[in-house]
Homo-oligomer: A and B are copies of this chain.
Amino acid sequence: MASESIKGKCEDCGSRSQSLLCSLKGEDLRLIDDAKFHQQFKTGQSLFYAGNPASGIYCIVSGTVKLEIHDGEGKTQIAQVYSAGGMIGYRALFTEEPYLSSAIASEPSEVCYIPKNTIMDLIQKKPDLAMKFLIQLSEDFRMMETRLHRISSNPAPERIAEALLFLRENFEDKNWTRKEIAEWAGTTTETVIRTLAQFEEEGLIEQKGRIISILKRDVLFKRAKISI
């Protein structure tokens, strides 16, 4: 199980500035402060599983958490990834449905859990908070729509190039496994390995053991067919 630690204050939280919720001030911030639960997760541990009822949201203080969708045959798709300042499961605030995906810490992570009703009360009080959620949701939606199209219309090398870029640009310090890259790109570990070898041969990247360095970012972008 995840370990609970002594409550820190939102005021002192390093990722507060990036977070939609915790950028609140004064009285409002204190409400969250009082209601939240602070937890730590080791790599591979799960915040929640698909099918679990959703009763609150998770704000990431540090680390990286991935949302995985599993099918019956062991295939896993990484639907989304969040790091410090990110907010997980907020869609559940507005629907009664259980989680669609499982949340797994991809590296040691600190997380604050905030109960649903705390947020809902806040939204009642501050209607412009709803607008912030709308903006966030709209952006996430757009990204999901883009991925749907890319995954269904691009061959594996394009998707892998895109995955490399996306994962590196958004999570600079993290080293992703080939399995994770595959699960993000919607392909297999073996195909990722073979494609990375190809990219290395072309001088686009360099592999030192498990570490991947991007050498020609611009060429890789072209390869990923990212124009938008």
Contacts and interface: CB of A to CB of B under 8 A. Distances in A.
A79 B134 contact: no
Contacts of A153: 71, 75, 77, 186
Contacts of A138: 91, 94-95, 137
Q: Indicate how many identical chains form the complex.
A: 2
A225 interface: yes
Name, among A97, A144, A148, A228, the residue most crowded by chain B CB atoms within 10 Å (CB to CB).
A148
Given A71-B225, A130-B131, A144-B141, A152 B95 contact: no
A34 interface: no
A30 interface: no
Contacts of A227: 72
A208 interface: no
16 contacts: A69-B145, A71-B154, A72-B225, A72-B227, A77-B148, A77-B152, A91-B138, A91-B142, A95-B135, A95-B139, A130-B130, A133-B134, A137-B138, A141-B141, A147-B148, A152-B152
A-B interface, 6 closest residue pairs, ranked by CB to CB distance from nearest: A152-B186, A127-B127, A130-B130, A69-B149, A94-B134, A94-B138
